[in-house]
Amino acid sequence: MASMMCADYGCLANEVRELDEGGIDSFHIDIMDGRYVQNFAMSLNDLKCIRAHTDKPLDVHLMVEHPINTIDLFIGSLKKGDTIYIHPEAEYHPSTTLQKVINAGLVPGIAINPGTSVETVGMMLRIVKKVLVMSVNPGNAGQMFLPYVRQKYEKLLMYNDKLDFDIYWDGACGADKIREFAPLGVRGFVLGTTLLFGKKAPYRETIAKIRKMEF
C-alpha cells in the first residue's frame, strides 16, 4: 500500500490516479494531531480528496489522542472495505472505539508501536481484522528500522495461527524486509520513500519491480 504522506501534495489528485493506474493495492493515510505524535501530517480533507479519486481501499492510520472524539468524522468519509487503525495507548477504552468502526461496516485495526508489547493488546486481537506493526517510532517518514521489532512479528504470527487477523508492516520497508517477512505471513507492507516515492520511474514501473522484487 502507498504511504500517502510521502506523496507530492502539489498534485495530490494526480498522484492518486497514477498510483491507482499503476497497480497499487491500497492507500495508507496517516492522520497526526501533533499531540499523540510530535508532528502534523494528513488531514480529513486529504482523506476526502484521495477517496474521491480512487475506488481502491483506504487504510486510515489515526495517530491521534482519544480517537473516540473524532472517529465519526473519519467513518463518515469512508466506505465499506476501508480500514481504520487506532493506537490502543491513545484511548481509555480502545475496544469501544473499535466497536464503532465495526458497527459502521468498516475494517477495525490496531497499530502497535515499537515499545508496545504484544501481550498488552492480546484481547484486542480477538476483535480486530488488521494489525499494523510499527517498525519505527510513529510520527515521521524516513526513519531507521528498529531491529528488536522483529520479535514482535514472530509473536504475532504465532497468534495469527489461531485468530482471524492479518499483519501489516509500517516503516522503513525495504526490499529485504518484504523478502524476509512476506513468506512468513505478513500480509502487506506500507511503501514510502524507501521503495515507492521519489523515484525517477513512473509508478507503474516501480510497482511492477516491487511485485517481482527486481532490486
Q: End-to-end distance of the chain based on CA atoms, in angstroms?
A: 18
The answer to whether residue 170 is catalytic is yes
CA 124, 126, 132, 135: dihedral to nearest 10 degrees? 70
The answer to whether residue 176 is catalytic is no
Catalytic hit among 20, 59, 82, 170: 170
Catalytic hit among 30, 46, 59, 82: 30
Q: What residue ranges in the chain does DSSP mark as E strands?
A: 2-3, 27-32, 58-63, 83-86, 107-112, 130-134, 166-170, 188-190
Q: Please check whether residue 26 is in contact with residue 51, taking contact to mean a CB–CB distance below 8 angstroms.
A: no
Closest CA to 86 of 48, 43, 44, 124: 124
- Residue 49, Cβ density class (10 Å: 0-12 exposed, 13-18 middle, ≥19 buried): middle
C-alpha–C-alpha distance, residues 39 and 37, integer Å: 6
3 state SS of 20: helix
C-alpha–C-alpha distance, residues 78 and 87, integer Å: 19
Give the catalytic positions in this structure: 30, 170
